[in-house]
């Protein structure tokens, strides 16, 4: 590829004249913004161990009362982006949130989409759009763009969950903002039971299904896990055992920008993932697994989380020869498809 002229090649008087007119020559920066063959990846393979993070999160519970935090979160920041950017990847934000018994995180709604993967504890709940969603280990709860949400805790031990948001993208597009609200009236709970039986949907006479853009807000882990185990039994030959979290009315992605799935690694299984454009996040729900990201290998214990840049080979291995492992995956696939930049490379 032809080497291009640099800024230093240009007379200083000319450079100053450009600057004075808010003009910039493209050619000195062209290779940086348009590198050959593969994007410049700021996202670095990074792992956050729950064992190291948990005591610091509990300490935040002592140092900062919930009223002074609103959301008591330690952000899982990727050093490749700079910690202050609070990004796990180009478009994904990750945070571990702590709610102590009797605490309340007040109602608000915002433009970024969020999901919560429950990590530890019982007795807490999120109320989303009037629907009270109980939290148990492994449950996935959606708080899509524009829906009111607040968190409460009636149990007697700390509750921790992993927040996954498309905040970096929404912030970058200058569309990120919040609206504060008052405590919601609860109008329903466990609404997801209406979708708990595959292939049959609510269908009141003369109308098919729900008019809600987000008909299912809570995906209980017991159901996702059972679906994985059933799939593994029904298709022992399958290359991968994986389920996607979808909108049950449309079969499409459950949210607009980020995609979510759960994967079961059979005992002893090693799985080479296709090399694809989206960055990915892996959170171990159960078992023990290693994640090799182009030669960087992380060993995940339950509740550990790591991220991998896009365009990079990733191999997952179950570290147990006798028990399955279960991994929650978040990635940028829906966004890449919508942008038309989605790629699979061999
Ligand atoms: C948010 O609303 C929550 O509602 C958690 O629990 C983390 C990070 C950035 C922006 C909004 C929550 C968040 C957030």
Q: 181 C-alpha vs ligand 1 centroid, how far in Å?
A: 14
Tokens linked to 242: 């994986």
Q: Give yes or no for residue 150 CB within 6 A of ligand 1.
A: no
Q: 324 C-alpha vs ligand 1 centroid, how far in Å?
A: 32
Q: Give yes or no for residue 149 CB within 6 A of ligand 1.
A: yes
Residue 155 has pLDDT above 90, yes or no: yes
Averaged pLDDT of the chain: 97
- Mind listing the pLDDT tens digit for each residue in 66-82? 999 999 999 999 999 99
Q: 135 C-alpha vs ligand 1 centroid, how far in Å?
A: 16
Q: Give yes or no for residue 142 CB within 6 A of ligand 1.
A: no
Q: Give yes or no for residue 167 CB within 6 A of ligand 1.
A: yes
Q: 322 C-alpha vs ligand 1 centroid, how far in Å?
A: 38
pTM of the prediction? 0.97
- Mind listing the pLDDT tens digit for each residue in 185-210? 999 999 999 999 999 988 887 676 77
> Where are the chain's structural domains?
42-345
Q: What is the pLDDT of residue 208?
A: 67
Index of the ligand 1 atom closest to the CA of residue 176? 10
Question: Which top CATH class is 42-345?
Answer: mainly beta
């Amino acid at each position: 590829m032809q080497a291009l002229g640099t800024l230093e090649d240009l007379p200083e008087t000319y450079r100053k004249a450009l600057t004075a007119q808010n003009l910039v020559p493209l050619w000195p920066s062209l290779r940086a913004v348009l590198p050959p063959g593969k994007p410049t990846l700021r996202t670095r393979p990074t792992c956050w161990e729950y064992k190291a993070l948990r005591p610091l999160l509990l300490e935040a519970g002592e140092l900062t009362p919930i009223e002074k935090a609103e959301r008591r979160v330690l952000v899982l920041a990727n050093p490749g982006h700079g910690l202050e950017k609070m990004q796990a990847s180009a478009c994904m934000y990750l945070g571990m949130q702590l709610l102590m018994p009797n605490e309340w995180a007040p109602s608000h709604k915002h433009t970024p989409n969020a999901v919560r993967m429950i990590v530890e504890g019982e007795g807490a709940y999120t109320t989303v759009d009037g629907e009270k969603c109980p939290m148990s280990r492994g449950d996935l709860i959606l708080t899509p763009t524009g829906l009111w949400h607040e968190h409460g805790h009636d149990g007697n031990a700390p509750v921790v969950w992993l927040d996954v948001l498309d905040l970096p993208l929404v912030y970058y597009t200058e569309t990120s903002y919040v609206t504060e609200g008052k405590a919601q009236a609860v109008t329903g709970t466990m609404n997801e039971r209406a979708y708990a039986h595959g292939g049959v949907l609510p269908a009141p006479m003369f109308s098919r299904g729900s008019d809600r853009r987000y008909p299912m807000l809570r995906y209980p882990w017991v159901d996702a896990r059972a679906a994985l185990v059933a799939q593994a039994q029904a298709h022992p030959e399958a290359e991968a055992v994986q389920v996607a979290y979808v909108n049950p009315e449309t079969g499409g992605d459950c949210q607009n920008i980020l995609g979510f799935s759960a994967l079961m690694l059979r005992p002893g299984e090693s799985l080479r993932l296709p090399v694809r454009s989206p960055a990915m996040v892996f959170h171990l729900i159960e078992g023990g697994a290693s994640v090799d990201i182009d030669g960087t290998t992380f060993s995940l214990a339950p509740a550990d989380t790591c991220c991998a840049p896009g365009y990079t080979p990733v191999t997952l291995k179950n570290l147990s020869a006798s028990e399955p492992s279960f991994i929650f995956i978040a990635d940028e696939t829906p966004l890449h498809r919508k942008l038309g930049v989605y790629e699979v490379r061999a």
